[in-house]
Amino acid sequence: MISRENAQRKIVVMCNVADRALGSVIADIQKTIAEQVELPQGYYVEYGGQFESAEETRRRLTVLGVLVVLGIGFLLHLVFRSVRDSLLIMVNLRWLSSVALRCVCLRRHPVRASVIGFISVFGIAARNGIMMVSHIAICSGTKVSPTFPKRSAAGATERLAPILMTALAAGLALILWPSAVSSPA
């Protein structure tokens, strides 16, 4: 069907995608059109529908994600008054997010469906990092050991059990939650 939009002719080609990710189908279509279709002057191809919505959401999440990470870093810096301590927690969050993404991929869950889990894991990891850095600072104030590595080891040893317990409980809840929700009652 040929219609008009914004005083231009428009040809709409529609398709449904099954058994494949929408992004990979669009990538194949874009590649095929680039290799095999020569568009006349004044013509162009525009991809819309769910793909357009997904791309807009991805762009928005990327911008918001960067702003959130910068905001967390700024707040950590305000609390600890130390770039080193703030970066220590932020590096831990970066490492944890890559591990969480690998776990989601291993379970073959869609990443969009796992956003709540990512937020939970991020919050728990940030809290654990803050607790650890705070405790190391407390150990520094009591002069447990004169060197930073020994103070860090002492603080980490004392906080290891509580942090592992909360992380394990939250991790098990997040792992078991999708299967509990999807199982028939």
Domain locations along the chain: 2-36, 64-182
Q: What's the rounded Cα separation, in Å, for the pair 29 and 32?
A: 5
Q: What's the rounded Cα separation, in Å, for the pair 117 and 172?
A: 11
- One pLDDT digit (tens) per residue for the chain, 185 residues: 667 777 777 777 888 888 887 778 888 888 988 888 888 888 888 887 777 777 788 788 778 878 887 888 888 888 878 787 788 788 777 777 777 777 767 766 666 656 666 777 777 777 777 877 777 777 666 554 556 677 667 767 777 777 777 777 777 776 666 554 444 44
Q: What's the rounded Cα separation, in Å, for the pair 181 and 109?
A: 13
